[in-house]
Chains A and B, each alone.
Chain A
Amino acid sequence: MPDGTVDTETIELLRRVSTNTVAGLLIKLGGMRTRTVRNARPLNSARARFVGPAFTVRNVPVREDLTDRASMVGPNSPLYGTVDSVPAGSVIVWDMMGDTSCGAVGDIIMAAFAARGVAGFVTDGAMRDGEAVAGGHLPVFCNGVAPAPSNRSLLAAGVQETIGCGGVMVEPGDIVVADPDGVVVIPRQMAAAVAREGAEQEDIEAWIKARIEAGEPTRGLYPPDDRVRADYRAHVAAVVGAATKV
């Protein structure tokens, strides 16, 4: 893993932050407007939430004289051994250059990744064995399904390199956050700040939403002005105070 590995506390905090909040904070904190993976949809919307450090795979177009490198189970592929060595908790980010004519991997390799404790799988291309993968344990975001194997069109070129996936630059160890709305990638040095501020934002927004549902007008309340933020802090202090007394 490259330098700047993100701590477990940050990962846990991000589990309760939505991709919407993360995408907004990346613009607010870093001016980053290019961090949502395009054309990556959940294969199974009931299994579409994960957070974890990116483990990257890069593909280039296949060439018939290089097919000995194309099978990930063959010793000439840069992917050789990856299935049995990818760290638990990783989110695999698989750059297919948007190619949907073939599937990245199928249900057996996905079962192996799941058994290793991989947290999620993201690609800008398609998957094989769509029904079985959708019913498996590993959440997947992709751009459709296709019966043909990856070596129909693609050749693995590298593992754990800086890649592009769905228009997003992804460095190994960046933090990938996914929920049914999509996939957002946080540069790893921003993960702690996004987690901290994101968790606070989720809390205040839950409180604001309850007030709006109770019939309050949105003006000043959402987005919260200074008065509303002060009210919220008082509310938190009261709740914490009450909890401490018990």
Chain B
Amino acid sequence: MPLDKADADALRPISTATITTILLKKGLRNVWIRGARPLRPDQPRIVGPAFTLRFIPAREDLSTTASWSNPVSTRTAIEAMPPDCVVIADAMGVADAGIFGDMLCARMVRRDVAALVTDGVMRDVAGVLATGLPIWSRGIAAPPSVAGLTFVGWQQPVGCGGVAVMPDDVIVVDSDGAVVIPRALLGDVIAEGPEQERSENWIMSEIEKGVPLPGLYPMNAETRARYEASKKAPA
């Protein structure tokens, strides 16, 4: 299920830090994917629907380089990826078998995949960086995926970095990492996110003016009145 352009545009200015706070207020305490760090420090914030991949432990006779030609393989999964999706690869946190290298990343770029997020690791890092695909992962390893993992399917419910991800959940990923927004809560995030960003920007400007934190962050009644007045004042 694609993400509406209007929703994507509304979501893009909202940080993952803000989103986790909003979702916490809705009762969701576990939406941040552990272990997924940006491969490049300057990767922009990216939003898109999740496209899930599931890996499980290797079995010596099945997890071979020949398996890359199977009907169920990472290669066939890539051909099923819609444009602008964010790939969420459940690699069980395995850190010694790289799930993708430069060839597959290059193909994902050609298919207009927006980003790749995994609790596992990548390989061929120089080539992967050259493809320009934005990636969040646990790190790098030389051995191939089949050294420790078997790919078993796509668009299934998965656990990635300790978080449940359903196909087509909305993913936002930035320098703090990746968060999962259930589709049913997307409207709340879009409604509340901009106001939270705005109030926090105002609080930051007050801190820079030398205002002490108690009563400011979080705002007490008096501070809130000043903030509301500032919103009405001409800029």
Contact = CB atoms under 8 A, between A and B. Distances in A.
Interface stretch (A4-12, A25-33, A223-231): A25-33
Given A162-B152, A164-B92, A65 B58 contact: no
Contact of B159 (A32, A61, A161, A162): A61
Contact of A168 (B29, B57, B61): B57
Contacts of A32: 59-61
A83 interface: no
Contacts of A157: 156-159, 164
B184 interface: yes
Nearest to B158: A60
A184 to B, nearest CB: 13
B30 A63 contact: yes
A30 B30 contact: no
Contact of A65 (B157, B158, B185): B185
A157 B152 CA distance: 14
Contacts, number: 77
B57 A61 contact: no
A56 to B, nearest CB: 11
Given A60-B159, A169-B150, A65 B182 contact: yes
Contacts of A187: 59, 61
Interface residues of B, number: 30
B56 A61 contact: no
Nearest to B28: A64
B171 to A, nearest CB: 14
A86 interface: no
Interface of B: 26-31, 56-63, 92, 150, 152, 156-159, 162-166, 180, 182, 184-185
Q: Which 7 A/B pairs are nearest by Cβ-Cβ distance?
A: A60-B159, A164-B56, A157-B157, A164-B57, A63-B164, A169-B59, A60-B164
Given A34-B60, A158-B157, 11 more contacts: A30-B61, A32-B59, A32-B61, A60-B159, A97-B159, A155-B164, A162-B56, A163-B56, A164-B57, A169-B56, A169-B150
